[in-house]
Amino acid sequence: MEIVKKCGGVPLAAKTLGGILCFKREEREWEHVRDSAIWNLPQDESSILPALRLSYHHLPLDLRQRFVYCVVFPKDTEMAKENLITFWMAHGFLLSKGNLELEVGNEVWNELYLRSFFQEIEVKYGETYFKMHDLIHDLATSLFSANTSRGNIRELNANYDGYMMSIGFAKVVSS
């Protein structure tokens, strides 16, 4: 009940927390979520909900970068699942042998969907389309901005054509 109260009556917060808690089987894991320092970070009206930040921090590491990559699509854009998977593949986020990249991409997409990072699924002409909630997109944008300011982004292609922009990630090695 304490975790529910921390959601502040915001359905998206409850939904994303449910998305992480469904993978937590032990009571101590739920207590870790409840007692996280993220709940105590100072907030103003425009800041990202702590529940959303917490959901991101509980993503497996391999999903975090793939999620942040979704910032290439403008807010409130209807995205084709297959296009996103293709972009992940083209940027090297789905490394595997043979034709397994598409399969891995589907698994990644499904996991992000189950954790409520994607919503509003609609099938049109045999393709799956989805959106990111505005607050989830804001989270991806803030994480992207934080990575950019730390020098972790190798490339930002500002040639925005109305549909997407291109970014590249690089691991920064301190000397």
Closest Cα to residue 65, out of 159, 130, 13, 143?
143
Q: Where do the domains of the chain lie, and which CATH numbers do they carry?
A: 2-57 (no CATH), 61-169 (1.10.10)
Model pLDDT, residue 44: 53
Confidence at 50, pLDDT banded by 50, 70, 90: confident
Distance CA 163, CA 56 (A): 25
Q: Where are the alpha helices (DSSP H) in the chain?
A: 2-6, 11-21, 27-34, 50-57, 61-69, 81-90, 100-114, 134-149
Judged against a pLDDT cut of 60, whether residue 39 lies above it is answered with yes
Among 15-19, 36-40, 129-133, 158-162, the range of highest mean pLDDT: 129-133
Q: What is the pTM of this model?
A: 0.72
Place of tokens 């043979």: 98
User: Which is higher by pLDDT, 112 or 147?
Assistant: 112
Kindly report, residue by residue over 124-142, the tens digit of the pLDDT.
989 999 999 988 998 888 8
b/e for 63-86, b at 16 or more Cβ within 10 A?
bebbbbbbbbbeeebebebbebbe
| Start-to-end CA span in the chain (Å) | 47
Q: Tell me what pLDDT residue 41 has.
A: 67
Using CB atoms within 10 Å of the CB of residue 109, give its burial: 0 to 12 exposed, 13 to 18 middle, 19+ buried.
buried
